[in-house]
Chains A and B, each alone.
Chain A
Amino acid sequence: MLARLTRSVPALCRALHTQPNSTTAALELIRSQPSQYIIANFVGRKYILTPRDVLTVPRLRDVDVGDVLALDEIHELGSREYTLRGNPTISPSRVRVQATVIEHTKGKMEFIFKKKRRKGYQKTITHKQPYTRLRIGEIEIPS
């Protein structure tokens, strides 16, 4: 039992005696860790995002391939042991994340089959949903 206690104590101790007393101190702690994630609102939906990942959303019509978008609704910024939650969002001056539009594509062909039995009515609708894919850039926490 003592062995089990001591195994969990180092992480607990570290989290206890590193209570940040300001947002800047909290951001310093998060920045000191090797990797970070954000929870951002994009086109009305929340996603957990890390650098270098590809986000697929329904087609954005007013955006060109190669355009860089700044994510301005970041609800949460976290790392392995620390999390900063905004109220409701974290100010863009504290965290900066950019997303680059890499392509506008269409999904695979969907076949929608409709039929009313004994009425001679049937039809097949073919549909390809258009999407926009974005690559998430680095999470910048300016000091």
Chain B
Amino acid sequence: MATLFRGQLRSFPANGHAAFVPQIRKLVFECCDRWPSSENTRSYLFTRLVELARQNPHVEIVVRQRIHREPIIRGFYVNNRDKVVPLNGLSLAEINQKVHLLLDSSGAKIKHLKRRNVESTTESTRGIWSGLHADRPAL
């Protein structure tokens, strides 16, 4: 009986293959109560935050005070990374855009995706051609 090594029994993550787990876990809004740079962020919190929380029940939404600083939004992800986006000088629509940028992201580091069409971990289905195992070509 061949030895079964513990390393052979491990499984590799493939989020979305059988089940999908949303990668964002927490969204923290930090803004000042008084300064005008947080004006639009404050109005976003008063008008659209509750609807956002209802539409995304998987996300924990936190509002914190960040006095005398520019408003920011922090997204915390399942891979222990976080993304921080400043909301200084943005209109309500632009703040909404940034919120959805964080909600749609997976927390992975930004990488060059132009030439990466298909990233596969499965072995080649038809096998890899080997010159030593093929018929000798005849002229």
Q: How far is the CA of A61 from the CA of B60 in the complex (A)?
A: 25
Q: How far is the CA of A47 from the CA of B18 in the complex (A)?
A: 21
Interface membership of chain B positions 67-110, coded 1 if the CB is closer than 8 angstroms to chain A and 0 otherwise: 00000000000000000000000000000000000011110101
Main secondary structure of the interface of A (DSSP, over half): strand
Chain A residue nearest to B18 in the complex (CB): A137
8 Å CB interface, A125-143 against B: 129, 131, 133-138
CB distance from A61 to the nearest CB of B (A): 11
Size of the B side of the interface (Cβ < 8 Å), in residues, is 32
Are B17 and A137 closer than 8 Å at their CB atoms?
Answer: yes
- Of the four ranges (under 10, 10 to 19, 20 to 34, 35 or more), the interface on chain A belongs to 35 or more
Q: How far is the CA of A107 from the CA of B106 in the complex (A)?
A: 13
Chain A residue nearest to B119 in the complex (CB): A54
Are B114 and A65 closer than 8 Å at their CB atoms?
Answer: no
Are B126 and A107 closer than 8 Å at their CB atoms?
Answer: no
Chain A residue nearest to B58 in the complex (CB): A66
Q: How far is the CA of A137 from the CA of B122 in the complex (A)?
A: 12
Is A100 at the interface (CB under 8 A from chain B)?
yes
Instruction: Assess A55 versus B117: contact at CB under 8 Å? Given A4-B136, A50-B122, A78-B126.
Output: yes
Is A41 at the interface (CB under 8 A from chain B)?
no
Are A135 and B14 closer than 8 Å at their CB atoms?
Answer: yes
Give the total number of A-B pairs whose CB atoms are below 8 A apart.
101
Q: How far is the CA of A80 from the CA of B104 in the complex (A)?
A: 37
Question: Which residues of A lie under 8 Å from residue B113 when comparing CB positions?
Answer: 56, 105, 107-108, 129, 131
Question: Which residues of A lie under 8 Å from residue B126 when comparing CB positions?
Answer: 37, 78-80
Q: How far is the CA of A136 from the CA of B23 in the complex (A)?
A: 17
Are B118 and A52 closer than 8 Å at their CB atoms?
Answer: no
Is B120 at the interface (CB under 8 A from chain A)?
yes
Chain B residue nearest to A12 in the complex (CB): B135
B residues adjacent to A (C-beta < 8 A): 14-18, 20, 22-23, 103-106, 108, 110-114, 116-123, 125-127, 133, 135-136
- 10 A-B Cβ contacts within 8 A? A52-B17, A53-B122, A65-B22, A79-B126, A101-B16, A103-B105, A105-B104, A107-B113, A108-B110, A135-B14
